[in-house]
Structure 1
């Protein structure tokens, strides 16, 4: 699966943030919804939440994506660097 990378940049507020969302299999047969966020150009914080199926993890990803897009985050275009 491909990660979703969202960015929010507002030079007037000195804001340059990223939010990366991904679903990956774990070592125990389950699935993990992985979120990483922080300031662009710096290492971010990472949180992983386990789910029993990829469908449930994708629902969580879509829910989080929608919440971030409502706050002004936009999807990063392919080829752009964080």
Structure 2
């Protein structure tokens, strides 16, 4: 299971956001890209998108990481508990 955790902070705009993604196999032999996003410190919105294989899910995750970095998100090495 691969997990990516991104954050975006801007104190002048009272902005503190997170975006978390992970890949997991489904019960039907597919792979799911599970995404959660929202304000840091609160529960977020969760979405799971199915993909036919792990490679397709990984490509989708990489595309989302690039998109989020363009919007000012930075990757964190460890997810807070």
TM-score between both structures, scaled by the size of structure 2: 0.94
Gapped runs of 5+ residues in structure 1?
none
1:70 aligned residue: 70
Q: Which runs of 4+ in 1 moved over 2 A?
A: none
Superposed, which structure 2 residues align to 1:20-31 within 5 Å? 20-31=20-31
2:4 aligned residue: 4
* Cα distance, 1:29 vs structure 2: 0.9
Superposed CA RMSD in Å reads 1.2
2:32 aligned residue: 32
1:41 is aligned to 2:44: no
* Cα distance, 1:76 vs structure 2: 1.2
* Cα distance, 1:27 vs structure 2: 1.0
- Count of residues paired in the alignment: 81
